[in-house]
Structure 1
Amino acid sequence: MTLQPTSFPDLNVTLLYEELNHTNESHCPHSEAWEWLNTGQPVYMMFIAVLGIVLNTLVLTVFFLQKKSCTVAEIYLGNLAAADLVLVSCLPFWAISYANDYNWPFGQFMCKAVNVGIKINVYSSIYFLVLISIDRYIALVHPMSHGRMRKPKYAWLGCLLMWGFGLIMSIPEFVFREVNYFPKYNNSGCFLYFPSKHFAVGFEAMLTVLNFIIPISIILFCTVKIIRVLRTKIMSRLNADKTKHKATTLMLVVLLAFLICWIPFHLVTIMIWLLRIEVLGGCYITNVVNICKLVSNYPAFFNSVLNPILYVIVGKNFRKKVTDLFKQCGVTKTPLSERGHSNLSSTQNTF
């Protein structure tokens, strides 16, 4: 006998209790919101996956098939798009699992691999934004003294280190993710089981510091400095460096979108950590946290679709690159004189 849709909350709450090292005897009545959340989540995840794969593939195609070399800003945004592409490519597996009454039909290895892919995005994408913030900070606040640091080879090295960091931080997912059978629900689920409560508390505390407090602090510091410089230049009517201003505007919009989409996810992670150390507790609080855990995934996943849209809306030169790409593919033919003017313009602009 398989689970009915109304049984989703019971299984989810039971699993959260097990993750928090409570006993199986603990049971929380579920809210009516559960049925709506669990019914809509597979559709939402599949929609985000399809749209995200198309849009992020377009971004990567535009950046890496253009004739000239990528700028430092494009390298960072391209790697951010690649991280988003990894995330959205993993979502269909979970969408199918949720639609199948939380049953995981893809086996042990895919249980580990899919969640490693998702966590790599979570851990690395925020540090790509740290690199973007530092790059804009150097370009606007210290353009003369540290400008030599803004070279493509250093940008590629920084991105490589961030991918490595994300992979290392995802190792617990590969080690402790398991497919377990739950006889009560006649279901096999893919869940993360830490070896002990102390390990879980320590690991999640480390994640909170490394993946939230430190990067957010750096991003906020750089952003405040950048805004001050921009205000000063606007007040003094110094418009000589419009290229940097346009690039910085796009970066600030991307940063703001990321913070809005991902801060709820990290706050819920902190709440789960507080449940583990029993600062928070009780049936009602656990149920609320479990609902928030699901809800916070919605804006976090949407961010992987939002970034490419922002490039098109805010990035004037990105729209031009898209047009040039279609021209290269033979959609339209451009006269030689216009092509020369186009190449000159694209050389002068960053975004």
Structure 2
Amino acid sequence: MMAIPSDLSVFNSTSSPYLNASLAPAAPRCPGWPPVPMTTVIPALYSIICVLGTVANALAVWVLAHASASRRTVANTFMLNLCVSDLLFLLSLPLWAVYYSRGYDWPFGRVACKVCSALLHFNLYASIFFITCMSVDRYLAIVRPLRSQRARYPKRARITCLLVWALACACSAPPLYLRDTYPVEELGVEVCGVDYSNSDWRLTLAWMKIALAFLLPLFVISCCYGAIGRHLLADTGRLRMHFSSMPSFKSPESKESSKTERPPRPLEGRGLERVLWTVAAVVVAFFVCWFPFHCVTFLDVLHTGGWLDGCGVTWMVHNLTPLTLCLGFSSSAINPVLYCFLGNHFRGRLGGLCKGLWTCVKAQGEEHSQKRGSFSTRLSSFSRKLSDLKDMAIAEPSGPV
């Protein structure tokens, strides 16, 4: 059997177990810092995220996959790929929940350990890359509608999605290679973790996560939605100035007609405030979900490099990383709400599909009832005929007297 590394760095990676003081064979390094009960908290959070996220993403995939050819737009293409990426990851969450509930004992084998780790890291990058692509697409559609007509084609969006999948696979390849199962004889478990025998690997992958999975996407998303907000507010301001500069004197006979002839303000009529709130919600949700995790990852980098030390830093790295990772995972359940369910067309399409499904089920039920009724009628008719035959046999003489 493979021996566990002496420095226990196998416990210190994304979604790997973080050695709890209650589980450690030796005395805890920080007796004044109580550990978080990971074996109960994490499985509960993972279960909630898995159920809500699977239902939301499955409904979104169902609606987007059944969209007509005219509705297969660039935005819908990115949404569909985002939901598929989240679904693939959510399917691995039950295994991680079992893993934590068993006290960091991985019972599913070496291949499942590597595959689940790859799905986790793949979604970490792919979901954020797709959200960034959607932000750029919204910027082009709203701020540069005329200049971007040639670039915003569904075919080019599909090619972009293929590139995103390839880039996410490349980013998740190192964890796939490094992840493995390791027996811990002191605890009597077999963990699914990463052996960072070389600290340069650990620092490189941590900086890659911070830069590619947070800082760069956050910069692009903030710039795109900031430009969208300024553009919408500027358009509204120009429209208000235009309407306020129109002559206000009218002849007496035109006063009544002016009430119906005055054109509405287009941007406000389309729900400018709702659009701006949606834009703000997208940026805030991305920041709130992933900022705590990357902050703790940065603390881990400083701790590994020897720039920070102490019980507080050790406690935060070992206990807050799984919790902040749960917060990041919750984006898989929030994404369909922000990008799909808030749209009027999506809700209408979902309602139409549900009504169609209900109509189909109801028709099948009625057909089944009709078949049962027809069978009952035939059975009743057969029983009546049989009864009549019996009566006739009783009424007829049985033989010569």
Q: Please give the range of the TM-score, normalised by the shorter of the 2 chains.
A: 0.7 to 0.9
Measured at CA, do residues 168 and 309 of structure 1 come closer, stay the same or move farther in structure 2, by a change above 3 Å? same
Does structure 1 residue 254 correspond to structure 2 residue 272? no
**Whole-Å separation in 2 of the counterparts to 1:67 and 1:268:** 44
Quote the Cα distance in structure 2 between the aligned partners of 1:287 and 1:160. Answer: 40
With 240-249 and 88-97 compared, the bigger mean Cα shift is at 240-249
State the partner residue of 2:39. 38
Deviations along 1:209-267, one digit per CA (max 9) or x if unpaired, are: 22222221111111211110011122234626977967786465334322211121122
How many residue pairs match? The answer is 317
- 2:161 and 2:285 map into 1 onto residues whose CA distance is 21
- Does the 8 A contact of 2:299 with 2:313 survive in 1? no
Q: 1:160 aligns with which of 159, 162, 171?
A: 162
- Measured in 2, the distance between the counterparts of 1:208 and 1:147 equals 34
Distance 1:250 1:153, change over 3 A: farther
Distance apart, 1:308 and its partner CA = 2.4
Which position in structure 1 is the counterpart of 2:65?
64
Counterpart amino acid of 2:125?
Y
The answer to whether the Cα contact below 8 Å between 2:60 and 2:83 also exists between their aligned partners in 1 is yes
- Partner residue of 1:318 out of 340, 346, 356: 346
Using the TM superposition, name which of 203-212 and 160-169 deviates more: 203-212
Residue number in structure 2 paired with 1:55: 56
CA RMSD of aligned residues (A): 2.8
Deviations 1:57-89 (A, max 9, x none): 110000011233421111111111112112211
Larger radius of gyration: 2
Letter aligned with residue 266 of structure 2: N
1:28 touches 1:287 (CA, 8 Å); kept in 2? no
Quote the Cα distance in structure 2 between the aligned partners of 1:220 and 1:311.
Answer: 16
1:239 to 244, 257, 266: 266
TM-score by length of 1: 0.82
CA contact (8 A) 1:132 1:251 kept: no
Change (3 A) 1:235 1:15: farther
Query: Percent same amino acid at aligned positions?
Result: 29
CA–CA distance in structure 2, aligned partners of residues 244 and 171 of structure 1 = 44
The alignment partner of 1:181 has SS state of strand
Q: Could you list the per-position Cα deviations for residues 178-234 of structure 1 after superposition, in whole angstroms to 9, with x for gaps in the alignment?
A: 100111111110001234012222232233222222221111111211110011122
Q: Which residue of 2 aligns with 1:302?
A: 330
* Cα separation, 1, equivalents of 2:293 and 2:97: 19
Q: Hey, what's the Cα distance between the residues in 1 that align with 2:278 and 2:346? A: 10
What SS does the aligned partner of 1:180 have?
A: strand
- Distance, in Å, in 2 between the alignment partners of 1:268 and 1:307 is 23
Is the counterpart of residue 138 in structure 1 residue 149 in structure 2?
no
Q: How does 1:1-351 map to 2 (within 5 A)?
A: 15=8, 19=12, 27-29=28-30, 31-35=33-37, 37-68=38-69, 69-237=71-239, 239=266, 250=278, 253-311=281-339, 314-331=342-359
Contact 1:139 1:244 in 2 (8 A): no
Structure 1: state its 5+ residue gaps. 1-10, 334-351
Q: Structure 2: where are the runs of 5+ without partners?
A: 14-24, 240-264, 362-401
Asked if 2 retains the 8 angstrom alpha-carbon contact of 1:79 and 1:128, the reply is: yes
Q: Distance in 2 between matches of 1:293 and 1:259?
A: 16
Contact 1:49 1:88 in 2 (8 A): yes
Q: What is the CA distance between 1:18 and its match in structure 2? A: 6.3
CA distance in 2, matches of 1:307, 1:207: 20
- Give, as a single letter, the amino acid of the residue that structure 2 aligns with 1:142: R
